[in-house]
C-alpha cells in the first residue's frame, strides 16, 4: 500500500511540476503548431522539454500505482499534487505563500499518512457488466441533469442581460470536469482488473484510451468554466468531485471495500476528509487570508515580504540578471495553469 502511495505522490508531482515547467517555457515560445521550426523550438527549450518528460513519466507512474492499489486510495492521494506544486513554486519560483497555504499542505500530508495507514491490499473482485452499465447510466444521467441546470441558468442570464457568470454555472463546470477526471482513473483501473480476471491484455490499452478521452473532455469543461468564471470556485469543485467520484465509483463499480478493522476504516475515512480539506484550503487560501484581522494580516505580510526580499537580494548578488522574460506562476491550481496556457497559445 505504501509503495502505491509513494508512486502516486511521485506521479502527481511529475504531472504538476511538469505543467509548471511547460508553462514557464512557453513564455518565450511561439504558439504550438505542426511546423518543423516551431516543434524544434519547443524541443530545444530546456524548461518545456523537461516539463514534458516529467509529465509523461508522471502519467506512467500513475498507471503503475493504479495497477497496484484500489482507485479509492490512489485518487484521493493524487489530490495532494496541489500541495507538492505549492512547495515547488515556493522554493523554485520564489512564490510567497500565506499561512493557509502551509496549513493546507500540512493537512493534506497528514491525510495522506492516514490513507496509507488505514488502507488495505485487496484482491480483485469480479466486475459485473450490469455494474458497469449502471455506472455509465448514472454518469450520463448526472451530466444530463447538470447540463439542463446549466442551460436554465444561461437562459436566465441572457434574459436578464447579465454579462458575468453565476456561481451556479461555475459550480456545474467544476463538477462536470471533476467527475470526468475521477472516471478517467476508474476506467484505467478497469483495464488492469479485467486482465487479472483472465481477459485479453488488449483491455489495458483500450481502457487507457477511454481514460484519455475522459481526461481530455474534463479539461474541455474546466477550461470553459475557467475562461469566464472564477478559478477558485471551478477548481475547488473539480478537485473535490474528482476525489469523491474515484472513491464512490471504485467501491460500487470495481467492488473495492473499506478496511475490515474499525481503526483502519476510521483512518482511511479521516485521511480522505483531510486531503479534501487541504485541497480546498490551498485553492481558497488567497481569499481566506482577506478575512483575517487587518493587524495580523499586515504583520504577516511584512515578515513575508522581508524574507522574500532577503532571498531575492542574496540570489541576485550571486547570479547575473536574466534578460529573458519570466513570470511568477500562481500555484492555486494546476488546471488554472492549463487554462492560462491555452489562452497564451490562442
Cβ proximity of 257 and 73 under 8 Å: no
Cβ proximity of 29 and 98 under 8 Å: no
pLDDT at residue 242 is higher than 80:
yes
- Each residue's pLDDT tens digit, 103-125: 888 888 888 787 777 766 666 56
DSSP state of 27: G
Alpha helices in 2-94 (DSSP H): 2-25, 36-44, 46-68, 71-78, 81-92
Q: What pLDDT is stored for residue 297 in this prediction?
A: 55
C-alpha span between 225 and 109 (Å, rounded): 29
Cell of 237: 469543485
Of 46-50, 128-132, 174-178, the one with minimum mean pLDDT is 128-132
- Taking the CA atoms of residue 316, residue 319, residue 324 and residue 326 in that order, the dihedral angle to the nearest 10 degrees is -50
Determine which helix (DSSP H) or strand (DSSP E) holds 197, and give its type and residue range.
none
CB atoms inside a 10 Å sphere around CB 200: 9
| Residue with the three cell numbers 452499465 | 133
| Nearest CA among 264, 248, 247, 278 for reference residue 73 | 247
CB atoms inside a 10 Å sphere around CB 153: 15
Q: What pLDDT is stored for residue 253 in this prediction?
A: 78
| Residue with the three cell numbers 473495492 | 256
pTM score, whole prediction: 0.67
Q: What pLDDT is stored for residue 162 in this prediction?
A: 59
pLDDT at residue 100 is higher than 70:
yes
C-alpha span between 156 and 64 (Å, rounded): 46
Q: What pLDDT is stored for residue 90 in this prediction?
A: 78
Q: Which residues fall within 8 angstroms of residue 125, CB to CB, at 6 or more apart?
A: 254, 255, 256
Q: What pLDDT is stored for residue 325 in this prediction?
A: 33
| Nearest CA among 241, 181, 237, 235 for reference residue 211 | 181
| Residue with the three cell numbers 474515484 | 246
Q: What pLDDT is stored for residue 340 in this prediction?
A: 47
Of 109-118, 137-146, 235-244, 318-327, the one with minimum mean pLDDT is 318-327
Summarize the confidence of residues 59-73 as an average pLDDT.
Answer: 84
Q: What pLDDT is stored for residue 318 in this prediction?
A: 43
Q: What pLDDT is stored for residue 305 in this prediction?
A: 46
Percentage of the residues of the chain whose pLDDT score is greater than 70: 77
Cβ proximity of 112 and 82 under 8 Å: no
- Each residue's pLDDT tens digit, 12-48: 888 878 877 887 787 788 876 778 888 888 888 888 8
- Each residue's pLDDT tens digit, 291-306: 777 665 554 544 444 4
Burial environment of residue 300 by CB neighbours within 10 A (0 to 12, 13 to 18, 19 or more):
middle
Cell of 78: 493524487
Q: What pLDDT is stored for residue 228 in this prediction?
A: 66
- Each residue's pLDDT tens digit, 193-219: 888 888 888 888 998 898 889 888 888
C-alpha span between 340 and 125 (Å, rounded): 42
pLDDT at residue 180 is higher than 70:
yes
Alpha helices in 94-166 (DSSP H): 99-118, 129-159
C-alpha span between 216 and 230 (Å, rounded): 21
Return the higher-pLDDT residue of 258 and 49: 49
Q: What is the distance in angstroms between the CA of the first residue and the CA of the last residue of the chain?
A: 43
3-state SS, residue 122:
coil
Q: What pLDDT is stored for residue 308 in this prediction?
A: 43
Cβ proximity of 230 and 170 under 8 Å: yes
Q: What pLDDT is stored for residue 343 in this prediction?
A: 46
Of 35-44, 76-85, 140-149, 173-182, the one with minimum mean pLDDT is 76-85
pLDDT at residue 337 is higher than 50:
no
Burial environment of residue 195 by CB neighbours within 10 A (0 to 12, 13 to 18, 19 or more):
middle
Summarize the confidence of residues 327-343 as an average pLDDT.
Answer: 42
Q: What pLDDT is stored for residue 163 in this prediction?
A: 53
Average pLDDT along the chain: 75
Q: What pLDDT is stored for residue 124 in this prediction?
A: 58
Summarize the confidence of residues 53-66 as an average pLDDT.
Answer: 87
Summarize the confidence of residues 65-72 as an average pLDDT.
Answer: 82
Amino acid at each position: 500500500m505504501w509503495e502505491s502511495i509513494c508512486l502516486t505522490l511521485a506521479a502527481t508531482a511529475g504531472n504538476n511540476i511538469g505543467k509548471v515547467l511547460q508553462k514557464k517555457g512557453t513564455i518565450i515560445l511561439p504558439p504550438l503548431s505542426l511546423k518543423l521550426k516551431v516543434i524544434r523550438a519547443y524541443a530545444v527549450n530546456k524548461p518545456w522539454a523537461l516539463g514534458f518528460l516529467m509529465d509523461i513519466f508522471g502519467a506512467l507512474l500513475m498507471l503503475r500505482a493504479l495497477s497496484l492499489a484500489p482507485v479509492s486510495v490512489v485518487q484521493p492521494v493524487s489530490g495532494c499534487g496541489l500541495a507538492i506544486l505549492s512547495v515547488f513554486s515556493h522554493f523554485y519560483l520564489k512564490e510567497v505563500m500565506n499561512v493557509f497555504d502551509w496549513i493546507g499542505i500540512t493537512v493534506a500530508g497528514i491525510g495522506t499518512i492516514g490513507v496509507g495507514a488505514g488502507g488495505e491490499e485487496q484482491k480483485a473482485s469480479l466486475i459485473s457488466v450490469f455494474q458497469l452499465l449502471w455506472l455509465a447510466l448514472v454518469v450520463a444521467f448526472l451530466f444530463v441533469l447538470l447540463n439542463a441546470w446549466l442551460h436554465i441558468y444561461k437562459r436566465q442570464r441572457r434574459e436578464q442581460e447579465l454579462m458575468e457568470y453565476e456561481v451556479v454555472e461555475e459550480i456545474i463546470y467544476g463538477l462536470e470536469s471533476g467527475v470526468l477526471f475521477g472516471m478517467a482513473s476508474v476506467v484505467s483501473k478497469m483495464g488492469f482488473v479485467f486482465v487479472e480476471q483472465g481477459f485479453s491484455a488488449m483491455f489495458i490499452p483500450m481502457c487507457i484510451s477511454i481514460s484519455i478521452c475522459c481526461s481530455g473532455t474534463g479539461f474541455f469543461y474546466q477550461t470553459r468554466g475557467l475562461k469566464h468564471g472564477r478559478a477558485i470556485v471551478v477548481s475547488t469543485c473539480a478537485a473535490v468531485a474528482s476525489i469523491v467520484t474515484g472513491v464512490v465509483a471504485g467501491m460500487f463499480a470495481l467492488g473495492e471495500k473499506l478496511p475490515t478493522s474499525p481503526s483502519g476504516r476510521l483512518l482511511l475515512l479521516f485521511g480522505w476528509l483531510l486531503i479534501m480539506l487541504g485541497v480546498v484550503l490551498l485553492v481558497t487560501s488567497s481569499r481566506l487570508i482577506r478575512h483575517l484581522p487587518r493587524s495580523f494580516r499586515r504583520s504577516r505580510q511584512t515578515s513575508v515580504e522581508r524574507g522574500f526580499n532577503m532571498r531575492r537580494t542574496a540570489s541576485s548578488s550571486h547570479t547575473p540578471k536574466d534578460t529573458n522574460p519570466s513570470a511568477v506562476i500562481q500555484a492555486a491550481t494546476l488546471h488554472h495553469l492549463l487554462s492560462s496556457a491555452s489562452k497564451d497559445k490562442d
